[in-house]
Chain A
């Protein structure tokens, strides 16, 4: 089994936690020293292997298009690190944010004006030099509501982008944002003059370029000869669609695939026992929050006691062990922050599985044997329905009826999304990912389909963003967690990450960034 976090220089846990504290709260306010060369060298040391060769990555999901600003399915973000770069990035060496296209940045005292100095000499894959104008246009496009970027609401704080000089760009924000550099790691800089060719010959600054792309079927990547960093580790990287997950696992075992993204959880332990295959997950601070939503504006879950009852009735450990091969971090504090994060509030009241407490709270909320709750599941995520069945069985022990309804994904999502719909009496499994903890809390500021809208909670997060001190931010995030824990807008089950299987004797270099996005740009053949 391969750990995705420990590098060859063996970062100590204390050092990792210290660095993570910086990231959990944003970046230092002083200018970041251009330590890119140190980071790149560490990256190179870490990704031991040889240059060259070809590998095939498979997934049951497809890539329907290549525009990084029009991502619809989270799997499409695997292309970000391959074809594009943002101003900042994370590397395999822990949770520290590093320079990418920007070599340094500074912020004003009020955290509303950010100045980014771009790396010089960078060219797009078509040879065109990268300038501040390209950065300005890319950021403006991503903030434009017409583009439909799925994280637009979080970067909408950017009010204007100004070109200071050829290699300097200044962002003015409508409100303070200490985590702006982290958010900008999600903003890929494009050559927008070539936008009409983005699905045939996308022009980026990443280590690879596209040789062939068939939507939802396969994509073939070859090294970008103009890449500003070390040459891409492979001569050819093919990312293919294997529509059936079971068939994908079979093909992995047969050697037709080298990497399989999101192997079925039921196969994880079996595959991991093989000497030639490793299943990689992010063990430390996993960033994907699996939760059960309730509509906090409709009965019976407009009563916080009813929501707390559900949170007590969820047997997190049983779900993690039975459905996620024990690879998740049960969220006993009922907050979407992993308990090993330095930003986690350790004094939270626990919501450990307790049917007696759940029953008492259901009684107080007026939910009893005459009521029927509905678990609204979908067959698109294999674990959702069994999770509902576990909950159904536990609730039956205290006389609460839960019926499990399984829907096709379109019908499933139509019932509750986007936020603002009313769905009384339903319990809906879902997961959020894509942001580093504790930034993940932001998904509950008006976006959650559970209709959670708490002024105190949002106020604390806004104050955290406006805080210049990392310690101050941490404290505010912890206060926000206390509010979340008390109000229990959802029942957070666990924090986990997508399992990726790799033929470990042949390849290495797959890792998860702190936001949960799987990175393939360090993928290489084993020496």
Chain B
């Protein structure tokens, strides 16, 4: 127990340090790249240099960067992430509106991906080098190679335009209309799930193949257990653990995929908010979204590590 607490404390400490460094990196990078919010306003003809000076002053951009950072981070510790330079809405409110749809899309895609990947990997492993195994491997390779954007357009063209089964874009809250919510999330989540499921499948298959040849599996077989029992009771739990770690490792890929899918399907999530804010140089929104993405990434890897720690008695035994 003490070892576990020490482990958790150490992870929290390193995560906090990484978060602070990440916040500095995001803040400085935004101010170093060409263009600032005032200059974005200058894309309108008629805006003068004097007006830009006033804009910058109003936004606090005339202060030195370290001063700007301290003002911002001070606000973050007070729960104030600032307001959008363009809409005037508080960043917290903008993010709150978008967080739910992004979480829903991500969870739906991960769940669909796993639902597809796990049985496929098992089917592949129980008959290695068979037609099923080869076909699934080829499909998985295609799933990883095909750009999400292209796949999404294809799904829209087929299921929305031609068949009319699903809407082409948009979002309806689950609490407003559950059925419409499911109809709207179907295509975006499938688009993302194809990529994630393919990645899960390849990793899980490799992990299972390694596990299936382990000594304890031969022992289980030698004890007279049926093949199904060997696979589901011994091979899968052990083979799945590395996949759990893999989920944490590809959290970044998931976040990136969500941005593309949200863009394509008009899904009002954080990814779409981030893309908008980049071109407008809406610093407060970008900084907040970047911070949240970093927190999500760290939290995911933290939860995965904890879950692995909890599920794998060998790790607990080693630590104590």
A62 within 8 Å of B by Cβ?
A: yes
B170 within 8 Å of A by Cβ?
A: yes
A153–B45 CA distance with the chains assembled, in angstroms? 10
B266 touching A254 by the CB < 8 A rule?
A: no
Q: Please tell me which one of the listed residues B33, B84, B266 contacts residue A241 in the complex, with CB atoms under 8 A apart.
A: B266
Which residues of B are found within 8 Å of A148, using beta-carbon distances?
Answer: 41, 47, 51, 54-55
A414 touching B39 by the CB < 8 A rule?
A: yes
B290 within 8 Å of A by Cβ?
A: no
Which residues of A are found within 8 Å of B34, using beta-carbon distances?
Answer: 410-411, 414-415
How far apart are A518's CB and chain B's nearest CB, in angstroms? 16
A118–B35 CA distance with the chains assembled, in angstroms? 43
Which residues of B are found within 8 Å of A65, using beta-carbon distances?
Answer: 86-89
A413 and B40 in contact, given A148-B55, A443-B45 (Cβ under 8 angstroms): yes
B276 touching A418 by the CB < 8 A rule?
A: no
Which residues of A are found within 8 Å of B167, using beta-carbon distances?
Answer: 256
A243 and B87 in contact, given A250-B156, A410-B279, A419-B48 (Cβ under 8 angstroms): no
Q: Please tell me which one of the listed residues B89, B161, B169, B170 contacts residue A215 in the complex, with CB atoms under 8 A apart.
A: B89
A152–B264 CA distance with the chains assembled, in angstroms? 37
B39 touching A215 by the CB < 8 A rule?
A: no
A244–B263 CA distance with the chains assembled, in angstroms? 7
How far apart are A392's CB and chain B's nearest CB, in angstroms? 23
A420–B53 CA distance with the chains assembled, in angstroms? 13
A103 within 8 Å of B by Cβ?
A: no
B128 within 8 Å of A by Cβ?
A: no
B29 within 8 Å of A by Cβ?
A: no
How far apart are B97's CB and chain A's nearest CB, in angstroms? 6
A250 touching B45 by the CB < 8 A rule?
A: no
A411 touching B35 by the CB < 8 A rule?
A: yes
Q: Please tell me which one of the listed residues B49, B265, B278 contacts residue A247 in the complex, with CB atoms under 8 A apart.
A: B265
Q: Please tell me which one of the listed residues A74, A251, A380 contacts residue B168 in the complex, with CB atoms under 8 A apart.
A: A251
How far apart are B16's CB and chain A's nearest CB, in angstroms? 31
B153 touching A247 by the CB < 8 A rule?
A: yes
A408–B280 CA distance with the chains assembled, in angstroms? 11
Which residues of B are found within 8 Å of A62, using beta-carbon distances?
Answer: 276
Q: How large is the interface on A (under 10, 10 to 19, 20 to 34, 35 or more residues)?
A: 35 or more
Q: Specify which of B46, B164, B279 lies most central, judged by the most chain A CB atoms within 10 Å of its CB.
A: B46
Contact with B along A404-441 (1 / 0, CB 8 A): 00001111111101111000000000001110000000
B144 within 8 Å of A by Cβ?
A: no
A216 and B48 in contact, given A64-B84, A256-B168, A410-B39 (Cβ under 8 angstroms): no
Q: Specify which of B45, B89, B156, B279 lies most central, judged by the most chain A CB atoms within 10 Å of its CB.
A: B45
How far apart are B264's CB and chain A's nearest CB, in angstroms? 6
A154–B44 CA distance with the chains assembled, in angstroms? 13
A432–B33 CA distance with the chains assembled, in angstroms? 26
Which residues of A are found within 8 Å of B94, using beta-carbon distances?
Answer: 215
**Which stretch from B6-14, B19-27, B69-77, B267-275 is at the chain A interface?**
B267-275
Contact with A along B213-225 (1 / 0, CB 8 A): 0000000000000
B151 within 8 Å of A by Cβ?
A: no
A11 within 8 Å of B by Cβ?
A: no
A146 within 8 Å of B by Cβ?
A: yes
B205 within 8 Å of A by Cβ?
A: no
B161 touching A253 by the CB < 8 A rule?
A: yes
A447 within 8 Å of B by Cβ?
A: yes
Q: Specify which of B41, B167, B169 lies most central, judged by the most chain A CB atoms within 10 Å of its CB.
A: B169
Which residues of B are found within 8 Å of A410, using beta-carbon distances?
Answer: 33-36, 39-40, 278-279, 281
A447–B44 CA distance with the chains assembled, in angstroms? 10
A127-176 residues with Cβ-Cβ distance < 8 A to B are 145-146, 148, 150-154
A72 within 8 Å of B by Cβ?
A: yes
A217 within 8 Å of B by Cβ?
A: yes
A477-527 residues with Cβ-Cβ distance < 8 A to B are none
A145 touching B42 by the CB < 8 A rule?
A: no
A84–B43 CA distance with the chains assembled, in angstroms? 24
B169 touching A447 by the CB < 8 A rule?
A: no
Q: Please tell me which one of the listed residues B45, B50, B160, B168 contacts residue A432 in the complex, with CB atoms under 8 A apart.
A: B45
A150 touching B46 by the CB < 8 A rule?
A: yes
A74 and B44 in contact, given A241-B266, A251-B168 (Cβ under 8 angstroms): yes
A411 touching B33 by the CB < 8 A rule?
A: yes
Which residues of A are found within 8 Å of B169, using beta-carbon distances?
Answer: 242, 247, 251, 256
A433–B50 CA distance with the chains assembled, in angstroms? 21
How far apart are B159's CB and chain A's nearest CB, in angstroms? 10
27 residue pairs bridging A and B, Cβ less than 8 Å apart: A62-B276, A64-B276, A73-B43, A73-B44, A74-B44, A145-B50, A150-B47, A215-B84, A216-B273, A217-B268, A243-B263, A243-B272, A247-B153, A247-B169, A250-B160, A251-B168, A254-B161, A254-B164, A256-B169, A410-B279, A412-B35, A413-B39, A417-B39, A418-B49, A443-B46, A447-B45, A447-B46
4 A-B pairs closest in CB distance: A410-B35, A417-B42, A414-B35, A411-B34
Other contacts beyond A148-B54, A215-B87, A250-B156: 15, CB < 8 A: A148-B41, A152-B46, A153-B48, A215-B94, A243-B275, A247-B156, A247-B266, A250-B153, A250-B160, A408-B279, A418-B49, A420-B49, A433-B45, A443-B46, A447-B47
| Residues of chain A having any CB pair with chain B under 8 Å | 62, 64-65, 67, 71-74, 145-146, 148, 150-154, 199, 214-217, 240-244, 246-247, 250-251, 253-254, 256, 380, 408-415, 417-420, 432-434, 443, 446-448
